[in-house]
Amino acid sequence: MAAVTQNYKPNVMRIVFTKKRDALIERLMPRRCMVVSVGMIFAGIGIPALMAVKLLPFSLLLGFMGCALVAVGGVLALVYCGEI
């Protein structure tokens, strides 16, 4: 007995919808450099927050690291956005 094969004809509307969806996802996806710089800002804010909750010990070095991370992350974010 022979197998019956069916031809697949793609729907034009489906192709257009898929291309539009892919373009939207690509446009909304953040750039890797921005994820790193904003991550540095959040890490810099998180260190003093953890010190306030008493999960990290209070120390000048950790406070300085938090301040430095926020400053460097902020400058990188401004550079990558094109503001500087």
- Asked whether the predicted pLDDT for residue 84 surpasses 80, the reply is no
- Asked whether the predicted pLDDT for residue 72 surpasses 70, the reply is yes
Model confidence over 2-21: pLDDT tens digits? 677 776 666 777 778 888 88
Model confidence over 43-66: pLDDT tens digits? 999 999 999 999 989 999 999 999
Q: What is the DSSP letter of 30?
A: P
Model confidence over 19-44: pLDDT tens digits? 888 888 888 888 888 889 999 999 99
Token code pair at residue 32: 């890797």
- Asked whether the predicted pLDDT for residue 1 surpasses 70, the reply is no
Helix (H) or strand (E) holding 21, with range, is helix 12-28
Domain boundaries defined on the chain: 31-84
Instruction: Please give the pLDDT value at position 64.
Output: 95
- Which residues neighbour 41 within 8 Å (Cβ) at sequence distance 6 or greater? 69, 70, 73, 74, 77
Instruction: Please give the pLDDT value at position 5.
Output: 74
Q: What is the rounded distance in angstroms from the CA atom of residue 29 to the CA atom of residue 27?
A: 6
- Which residues neighbour 67 within 8 Å (Cβ) at sequence distance 6 or greater? 44
Please state, as a whole number, how many other Cβ atoms lie within 10 Å of the Cβ of residue 37. 20
